[in-house]
Structure 1
Amino acid sequence: MTPTEAVLVTGASTGIGEAMVENLADNNIRVFAAVRDLSSVAEHPLVTPVRLDVTSAAEALEAAETVRAALGDTKLRGLINNAGIAVGGPLEFVELDEFRKQLEVNVIGQLAVTQAFLPLLREHGKARIVFTSSIGGRVAAPFIGPYAASKHALNGMAESLRRELKPWGMGVSVLAPASVATPIWDKAGDQIDEITGTLSPRAMELYGGTIESMRGMAKGARTGGIPASKVAEAAHHALFSRRPKAEYLIGTEAKMMATASNLLPYRTFDKAVLKEIAKG
C-alpha cells in the first residue's frame, strides 16, 4: 500500500532517531530522515535522507523545500524534533560558549526547524509536532546543568507551542525518557575525559571525585537503560493516536523520578540524588 502520510525526523542517523525511522517505515509511513551526513541513513524504499544541520535556519528552510518537492500526493503528518547534544560539567566552571552551543542545538535549532516546516504541516490539517525531551527536563541532576537547562527550556517552548497551535487542531507532545540504551553511552567515558581535561586544578579539587563516580552510572545506562524502540513507540502514539499525550514519561525510571520529585521534600530528594551519584 502506498503511504498517504509522511513524517520528518531530525537526528535520524543513530540511537533514538534511527529507531523512530525504523518504527515509522515498518508501519508503512514515509519518512524523511534529516541528518548532517546523508550516507549515515540506511537505504529503505520508504526512507528519504534530507541534509539538515538544525543550527542553520537557512538549511532548515532548504530542507523544507526539499521535502515539499518530494512529497507529491503525500501529506506531511508530523515533525519529530529529535536532534540534540549533551554538554556536561559543573556549572561553576562550564565554558559559556559550550553552554551557548547546548542551547543553540537543543532549543533554538528545534524552533528553527519547527518554523521552517510549519507551513507544510498546516497543509495536513491535523498535523503533530513531537520533541524528544528527557526526564532531565523535569529533574535536573548535577553535572548536566547545560543539558537540563536546555530540556527545561524545550519543555516550556513545547507547552507554549501546544497552546498556540491548538485552534488549528495541531498537536504538540514531548517525550521524556530517562536512560536509553543507545551507543552514545559507549562514548561516555571519553566525554568524561574531555570534561576533566578542560577543568582547572581548582575545579578538579572540588568536583573531580564526584565526576569520576559518574563513569559507573554511564556504564549502567548502556546496559540498563530502556531500548530506543520504546521511545519510538511513544513517538508513534504521539503522531497518530486520536488523543496524544502532552508528555510521555517513558520507562519505569522516568516515572519513578517524576513521582519522587513531585512527592518528596526537595531536601530529601536532593540527598537521594547525591547518594545515587556517589554510588557510581
Structure 2
Amino acid sequence: MNAPQIMPATSTAAPRNVLITGASTGIGAACARMLAGRGWRVFAGVRKMQDGEALMAGSEGQIIPVILDVTNREQIKTVVQEVGTQCGTAGLQGVVNNAGIALAGPLEFMPMEAFERQFEINVLGLVTVTQAVMPLIRAGHGRIVLMGSNSGFMCEPFLAGYGATKHALEAIADSLRIELRPWGIDVALIEPGAIKTPIWSKSREAAEQLFVGMPPECEKLYATPITALRKMVEKVPSMAIPPERVAKAVTHALESRWPRTRYPVGLDSIVGSLLVKIVPDRLLDWVIRKVMGI
C-alpha cells in the first residue's frame, strides 16, 4: 500500500481548527507540529503545561496547549467549551483522538485495574471526547481521526489488554463512519506499527517491572517468554519509523478530498493487515512465536 500523499500547505483567510488529545510527546506532538506548520490552529491536549510550552517552543504556526485528561469528564467538558468559544461559528475541522497507554503482561495474571485503565483511556476517553466535540465538528464540517494500532487487527502476546482496546476502535470506527455519513463527516482510523516514540523507553521499564504485583507463579510459568519479550522490546526502536510518518497519515485524513477509512502506517502494519486476511490463524500464531522467539 502506497504512503498517503499530502498536498503542500495552502493559506486560507480563516484558520482550520483541530483538537488533538495526547499531544505532549510522540505521535500527538508530531501531529500538532505538522498541522500547525500547515496553517491549522491546533488545540493540543497535554497533561502538564510544561509539555505544552515545550511543544510550542519547537513548532511553527499556532499551537494552543490545553490541559486535558481524557478520563476526566468534567475537564473534557470545560476544555471543549473553551475551544468552542475560541473557534466561534467556525467550529472544529478535525479532532485527533490520540491519547492512549499500553500495559503489557500475561493476561492470566494481569491485575484487573491495569486492564480497566487501558479501556478507560483508550476507549472510554476517546468516546467521551468525540461525543463532546460533535457539535463543533458539525458546525465546522469537520472530520474525526481515531488512533488505532496494528495490534487492533493482529495482537501480539502479552498485549491482550492494549490490543482489545485497539480492536474496539476498529468497531467504533466502522459504526461511527456509517452513522455520520448522512452529514458528510468522515471518520478515519490510523493503524501504526512500531513507531519511534518515548513509549519504547517506557516499555523497557515496564518489561523490567513486568512481574511486580504479580504472584510468584506468574514468573515461574512465564519466565522464558517474558525474557524473549524483553529482548524483542530492546530491538524494536532500531526498526521503528518516526512519528512524523503517522502525522503525515493524519494530515491526509484531515485534508484529502478523498480520505481513506484506514491508514496502516509502517511496513509491519501494512504486511500484518495483509497476513490476517490470507494466512490461517494457526500458521500466523506460529509465525508470531518464531518472530518473538517464544
Normalised to the residue count of structure 1, the TM-score between the two structures is 0.95
**Residue 233 of structure 1: aligned partner:** 248
**Residue 192 of structure 1: aligned partner:** 207
After superposition, what is the alpha-carbon deviation per residue over 1:188-229, rounded to whole angstroms, capped at 9, x for unaligned? 221012222222221111112111211222122212111100
CA distance in 2, matches of 1:79, 1:201: 44
Structure 2 residue aligned with 1:34, among 20, 45, 64? 45
The SS at the match of 1:6 is strand
CA distance in 1, matches of 2:206, 2:214: 13
**Residue 105 of structure 1: aligned partner:** 121
Q: Which amino acid aligns with 1:143?
A: F
CA distance in 1, matches of 2:261, 2:46: 26
**Residue 72 of structure 2: aligned partner:** 56
Q: Which amino acid aligns with 1:246?
A: T
Structure 2 matches for 1:146-185, cutoff 5 A? 146-185=161-200
Does the C-alpha gap of structure 1 residues 3 and 219 become closer, same or farther in structure 2, counting only changes over 3 Å?
Answer: farther
CA distance in 2, matches of 1:212, 1:197: 15
CA distance in 2, matches of 1:25, 1:103: 30
CA distance in 1, matches of 2:89, 2:16: 9
The number of aligned residues is: 278
**Residue 121 of structure 1: aligned partner:** 137
Structure 1 position 73, deviation (Å): 6.4
Identity %: 38
Contact 1:128 1:239 in 2 (8 A): yes
Contact 1:10 1:83 in 2 (8 A): yes
Q: Which amino acid aligns with 2:163?
A: A
After superposition, what is the alpha-carbon deviation per residue over 1:55-82, rounded to whole angstroms, capped at 9, x for unaligned? 1111111110110122246541000000
CA distance in 2, matches of 1:22, 1:40: 13
The SS at the match of 2:180 is helix
| Stretches (4+) displaced over 3 A | 72-75
Contact 1:19 1:228 in 2 (8 A): yes
CA distance in 2, matches of 1:206, 1:135: 27
CA distance in 2, matches of 1:91, 1:81: 26
Structure 1 position 140, deviation (Å): 1.2
The SS at the match of 2:210 is helix
**Residue 252 of structure 1: aligned partner:** 267
CA distance in 1, matches of 2:130, 2:231: 37
The SS at the match of 1:196 is coil
Gaps of 5+ in 1: none
CA distance in 1, matches of 2:47, 2:132: 17
Contact 2:73 2:128 in 1 (8 A): yes
CA distance in 2, matches of 1:3, 1:272: 51
Of 136-145 and 253-262, deviating more is 253-262
Gaps of 5+ in 2: 1-10
Of 239-248 and 67-76, deviating more is 67-76
Structure 1 residue 243 corresponds to structure 2 residue 246: no
